[in-house]
Structure 1
């Protein structure tokens, strides 16, 4: 696996990327049941889909007690994603609890149909829930290429921090996988649109639905926004959403509106 800035999984250039957003409920701290449920849902996804996007911590829900699950569950999930991606000829991305070298992380895994995997550890751990006390924060942004599109995948709370999401790499799309609760869903809706507009990129947000064991309710609002902040798909119920992202739209908007050329220059430290 690779996790550094500029990490690339290279495929032939494409004019269109077809994505499927799986907005689903989750079984609390039960990776086996969640993997079984998602395998069934993925099997029913349109066969011409290029990329399947699952929620944050899709095998467990947003648990602050990873010790309640076997330490090898992260690696088991990775192997499962590789198997499913190969079987259906689709890339799969989502985050899961991952244990490695004595440390837990909230790790996003991006697996291609040939089994290659890149990963990103959540940079902004959610202090309100004590995530920072349980999971180590990541340090590196991940940028990858898939089927001719340059992608920056991030996780939930990262959405609130525009500097970290800032498009200094000329990426084509941001992906946010999340467990974002209903009581703050207005922020989710607003910030997804803002990230699309300010970065002149497609933005995809995939949230879960249902109740977790902490009593938090999730109402979905998974969505795709184009470079101008226009919603392409949106849902507040359990379902799979589909969207087609085109190279033509990216090229046209950025050529006509050269807003990225006027970005302030700075570097991140720490």
Structure 2
């Protein structure tokens, strides 16, 4: 089977809502937004951080076990035993913690740097869904503006990028454009799960060719949205041209450096003749 059912869940309490049980049974992948447990307003109000082991994450682990789905718990403030706080996304599958990502790029206008320490690493994870081995990765909100981070993940074989966010409506054009660009340039699926309300906006998903496969813009907000990921479209996008294979600069190919001289100074440029030797 080459199709996956993905869901964006915008409220943590929907995870335990009996009315949503049937919907959850159909999903292979479930994603929540950035700071899903209250946002920056809760942090500013003194909400305590979680630990990786506390009960907040139990519904995510339980759901992933009951329905054999991969659950990306959006993100939340997580404190280490040493007291270091990070904006962290935890991923669960079959009841176990599969992957963790701590937000690397902190967005100063919203005070990220006041609440969190930056993450120090990135990576991808492998999960089996519908009998298919899928390589996926997570970045959080502002990370989306740094294409070199996502290209490095794509070179690890990433097929699906998940982006929990609190991206405001006023910058929706940038949000859509960046999601689509990351999908097209890396030929991957990009799923942008955005918070609702004053701190958030709309959510989108794009396939490897940049085609939009989900949007909740222009309709009444719902706490759970479901859409389909057609894995065959990934191979189809790469059949015509494979961006990752043809990215010569990342394969070690070097080019001569040319510097435009200031007026009145000799040129330090490398000539075409010397570059060809």
TM score, norm. by length of structure 1: 0.80
The answer to whether the Cα contact below 8 Å between 2:136 and 2:162 also exists between their aligned partners in 1 is yes
Show the 5 A alignment for 1:16-35: 16-22=3-9, 24=10, 35=12
Moved over 6 A (4+): none
User: RMSD of aligned C-alpha atoms?
Assistant: 2.3
Is structure 2 residue 156 aligned with structure 1 residue 169? yes
Match of 1:80? 59
Match of 1:238? 221
Q: 2:184 aligns with which of 197, 220, 228?
A: 197
Please give the alpha-carbon distance, in whole angstroms, between the structure 2 residues aligned to 1:130 and 1:69: 15
Secondary structure in structure 2 of the residue aligned to 1:158 = helix
Rg comparison, structure with higher value: 2
Please give the alpha-carbon distance, in whole angstroms, between the structure 2 residues aligned to 1:146 and 1:234: 25
Please give the alpha-carbon distance, in whole angstroms, between the structure 1 residues aligned to 2:171 and 2:164: 16
Secondary structure in structure 2 of the residue aligned to 1:254 = helix
Secondary structure in structure 1 of the residue aligned to 2:167 = coil
Q: Which has the higher contact order (CA 8 A, sep 6+)?
A: 1
Is structure 2 residue 51 aligned with structure 1 residue 69? no
Secondary structure in structure 1 of the residue aligned to 2:36 = coil
Match of 1:97? 77
Show the 5 A alignment for 1:215-254: 216=199, 218-220=200-202, 222-236=203-217, 237-239=220-222, 240-254=224-238
Q: 1:58 aligns with which of 9, 18, 36?
A: 36
The answer to whether the Cα contact below 8 Å between 2:204 and 2:216 also exists between their aligned partners in 1 is yes
TM score, norm. by length of structure 2: 0.78
Match of 2:119? 138
Q: After alignment, is 34-43 or 157-166 more displaced? A: 34-43
Secondary structure in structure 1 of the residue aligned to 2:25 = coil
Please give the alpha-carbon distance, in whole angstroms, between the structure 2 residues aligned to 1:19 and 1:109: 17
Q: How many residues align?
A: 238
Please give the alpha-carbon distance, in whole angstroms, between the structure 2 residues aligned to 1:169 and 1:200: 13
Secondary structure in structure 1 of the residue aligned to 2:57 = helix
**Gaps in structure 2 of 5+ consecutive residues:** 253-277
Is structure 2 residue 100 aligned with structure 1 residue 119? yes
The Cα of 1:16 is off from its aligned counterpart by: 2.9
**Gaps in structure 1 of 5+ consecutive residues:** 1-13, 25-33
Change (3 A) 1:70 1:132: closer
The answer to whether the Cα contact below 8 Å between 1:64 and 1:131 also exists between their aligned partners in 2 is no
